Amino acid sequence: MALIIKKPNGTRDVVPSQINKWQTVEKLAADTAQAFGFKEIRIPTFEETGLFNRSVGDTTDVVQKEMYKVSAKSRDNGKDDEEYNLRPEGTAGTVRAVLENGLLNEALPQKLFYILSCFRHERPQANRLREFHQFGVEMFGSSSPAADADVICLAKTLLGRAGLKNIKLYINSIGCPGCRAKYYKVLREFLSARENELCDTCKSRLEKNPMRVLDCKSPICGEIAKDAPKIVDYLCDDCKAHFEGLKANLAAMDIKYEINPKIVRGLDYYTRTVFEFVSEDIGSQGTVCGGGRYDGLVEQLGGAPTPALGFAMGLERFISVMEAEGCDFISPKRCDLYIASMGEAASRKAVELAYKLRLEGYYVEYDVMNRGIKPQMKYSNKLNSIFTMVLGDNELETAAAKLKCMDSGEQLDIALDDKFVDNFSNALVAEMFKAEDMSL
């Protein structure tokens, strides 16, 4: 029978057999961020459209082509319908939340991280979905290049903890509005000489934001951009000093990098430092993490001038790179005990014992399918249970049963009395120690 409804194009189901990979990267990300002093923030899935127009930039592909609009009928007669946009990234909403909740009045720097879903209407391809997930960090209050290096170090530490090796760090500076204005003039002159060869999108970018041409994915625009002037040659003294400070701090941390003058990032709010970590293992879509500084965004959204920076990492791509490099993921949780039962009284006892063990945090299963004893044992194997215990009339009479270790086949007696939970706990701990010794 054909399915009546399927998942929307560009989305993905994460089924139980894959969830351990997501739990791995989410735990790694949160633990690493917290080790660097970042605290979690959670923001709405949708925001007012103006937030993204102001922050992301109305010349970007994200705003022009990719944002999902959501609407709801107004409950007040005579009022227009309410319209919002699903978030295409996490920075803008985080800045809005920081301002609205007065976090900049607290001790600086404010250091925040998030794990969230984002939405962009683009052509689905490998590791590029219409609903995707990001881990991101944002730091508010520091203009020091040491902050830039600290954020980059966080990203590198996370990638290292995940076990990734074939990753390169690329950095660039795109300057401040002052030195960028001078660079724009030179860049426009260069690009205008070949304007007819540019794609239609880049032709429209030429006047308002010519640097976006350097980020275009069109092969023709990419070829033209090869010989374009480099912004690092037009940095003002302050931006140049900041970039040199970043390089010095990265050197102090022994973090290797390459300067890539073509990195401009795809969103308009960036200033000065921009960076990317790129994998060599997943082809053309190799950027695992990207970010930089956005010193003007807080003021642009109504706050006092506040330096800020951060990065975002796509979790789908992060997992793909880990898979490509053979990295380890958290093992799926094993069933601690499967209680097989024969007869109604034994079935009720299984329910009772499972309840007591679950209260203590153990993963316990028993039969709810009215299976015979052999199918129950097969099911226990499928669950990869650590122990199996069979209950029947004899076990109920003697108030004792046998715990069978499914890995070794060893059996031990266990009383079905008030100390059952403690005795099971001791047996499980002993089995864990045995497993650790065998792995050594």
Residue spans of the domains in the chain: they are 19-161+278-324, 337-431
Query: Is pLDDT above 90 for 61?
Result: no
Q: What is the spatial distance between Cα 70 and Cα 100, in angstroms, rounded to a whole number?
A: 22
- The tens digit of pLDDT for each residue in 364-413 reads 999 999 999 999 999 999 999 999 999 999 999 999 999 999 999 999 99
Mean pLDDT computed over 212-241: 87
pLDDT band of 437, cuts 50, 70, 90:
low
Report the range out of 33-42, 61-70, 127-136 with the highest average pLDDT: 33-42
- The tens digit of pLDDT for each residue in 244-291 reads 999 999 999 999 999 998 887 766 788 999 999 998 876 666 889 999
Mean pLDDT computed over 408-434: 92
CATH class of 337-431: alpha beta
Residue 237, pLDDT score: 95
Residue 42, pLDDT score: 98
Q: What percent of the chain has pLDDT over 70?
A: 93
pLDDT band of 79, cuts 50, 70, 90:
low
- The residues with which 40 forms a beta bridge, in sequence order, are 113
pLDDT band of 440, cuts 50, 70, 90:
very low
- CB contact at 8 A, 213 and 198: yes
Mean pLDDT computed over 346-353: 97
pLDDT band of 101, cuts 50, 70, 90:
very high
Query: Is pLDDT above 70 for 57?
Result: no
Residue 400, pLDDT score: 97
Residue 263, pLDDT score: 86
- The tens digit of pLDDT for each residue in 116-167 reads 999 998 887 777 789 999 999 999 999 999 999 999 999 999 999 999 998 9
Average pLDDT over all residues of the chain: 90
Q: What percent of the chain has pLDDT over 90?
A: 68
Query: Is pLDDT above 90 for 217?
Result: no
Mean pLDDT computed over 25-42: 98
16-25, 117-126, 209-218, 366-375: least confident range = 209-218
Residue 124, pLDDT score: 77
The pair of three-digit structure tokens given for residue 227, joined into one six-digit string: 């010989």
Q: What is the spatial distance between Cα 248 and Cα 171, in angstroms, rounded to a whole number?
A: 13
Query: Is pLDDT above 70 for 65?
Result: no
Residue 51, pLDDT score: 87
How far apart, in Å, are the Cα atoms of 20 and each of 26, 318, 325, 386?
10, 14, 17, 18
Q: Comparing C-alpha atoms, which of 432, 412, 352, 374 is closest to residue 366?
A: 352
pLDDT band of 239, cuts 50, 70, 90:
very high
Q: Do domains 19-161+278-324 and 337-431 have the same CATH topology?
A: no
Protein fold of 19-161+278-324? BirA Bifunctional Protein; domain 2 (3.30.930)
